Structure formats: C-alpha cells, structure tokens
C-alpha cells in the first residue's frame, strides 16, 4: 500500500537521480543545441541566425540553478524524513529553491530574444519561484508560531 513514507522515499530517490542525470545531460548540451539549430534554424524571435551558443549558455546557467535547487530540495526532504518540518533550516532551503527558480527565469527571458517561446519558460520559472516565496513565508510564520508555542507553559 502506498503511504507517506514511501512517497517521501520516492521523492528523495528522484532528487538523487536528477542530481546525477543533470550533469550527464550537460555533457550533451553542445550536441543538443547544434541539433536544435539545424532542425529549427528559423525561429520566431527578435533576432535571427544561429542560436546554439545563446541556447548553450542559457541551458548551462539554468543547470547551475537546477543543481543548487536539487541540493536544497534534498536537504529539505532529509529534514522532513527526520520529522523536522517547521524549522528555520527548512525556511532557508525554501528560500534557496525560490531564488533558484527566479534566477533560472533570467537566462530563459534573455533567450526569448532569439526564441519567443522561451518567454513562457521564463514566466513559468518566475511564477514557480513566486509560489515558493509565498510558501516560504507561510513556513516562517509557522516556525514563529511553533517557537512561541514551545515556550508557552
């Protein structure tokens, strides 16, 4: 039967798999971007021409944000596994994850100059970062209430 423990374990496993997979995928970025350039050479955007280099830069920057995000997510899941949910450390991890999403939106927004569809990815990343900021604020308030409750007799 599926339960919370198995769900948490699956999340931890998926984070670890992605933590290995993303660097391996980054080795393939030059090949992927050259293929993209060959197949979709004429895109819709303000600038035309080859996009292999700007797309590579965009993907590498997003991968750095993704790796930091995965690290923080892994730490968050480990804390939850130890039943440490409403802690200042988890608020810090949520803050890091939200900033990573917001920072990942920047290269995709810039790449939107070459390919307009990239603006959608940038908007989605920024929106996700905003949602996580709100969630982080809720966690901070819960930590504050928990600490206040712990000191109450």
Confidence at residue 150, expressed as pLDDT on a 0 to 100 scale: 82
Q: How far apart are CA 66 and CA 59, in angstroms?
A: 10
pLDDT over threshold 80, residue 32: yes
Given this model, what pLDDT does residue 30 score?
A: 95
Domain boundaries, the chain: 64-153
pLDDT of residue 54: 93
Structure confidence at residue 37 (pLDDT): 85
Q: Average pLDDT in the 116-131 region?
A: 96
Q: Which residue has the higher pLDDT, 71 or 153?
A: 71
Q: Are the beta carbons of 88 and 136 closer than 8 angstroms?
A: no
Helix, strand, or coil (residue 34): helix
| Angle between helices 29-39 and 52-81 in degrees, nearest 10 | 130
Instruction: List C-alpha distances in Å: 57 to 9, 101, 105.
Output: 34, 17, 13
pLDDT in tens, 40-93: 777 666 777 788 899 999 999 999 999 999 999 999 999 999 999 999 999 999
Whether 31 shows a pLDDT value over 80: the answer reads: yes
């Amino acid at each position: 039967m599926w339960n919370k423990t198995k769900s948490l374990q699956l999340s931890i496993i998926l984070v670890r798999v992605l933590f290995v997979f993303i660097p391996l995928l980054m080795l393939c970025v030059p090949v992927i971007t050259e293929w993209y350039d060959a197949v979709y050479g004429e895109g819709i955007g303000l600038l035309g021409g080859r996009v292999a280099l700007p797309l590579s830069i965009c993907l590498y920057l997003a991968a750095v944000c993704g790796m930091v995000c995965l690290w923080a997510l892994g730490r968050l899941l480990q804390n939850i596994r130890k039943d440490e949910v409403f802690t200042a450390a988890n608020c810090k991890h949520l803050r890091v994850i939200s900033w990573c999403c917001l920072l990942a939106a920047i290269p995709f927004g810039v790449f939107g100059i070459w390919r307009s569809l990239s603006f959608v990815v940038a908007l989605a990343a920024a929106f996700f970062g905003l949602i996580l900021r709100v969630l982080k604020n809720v966690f901070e308030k819960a930590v504050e209430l928990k600490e206040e409750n712990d000191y109450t007799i």
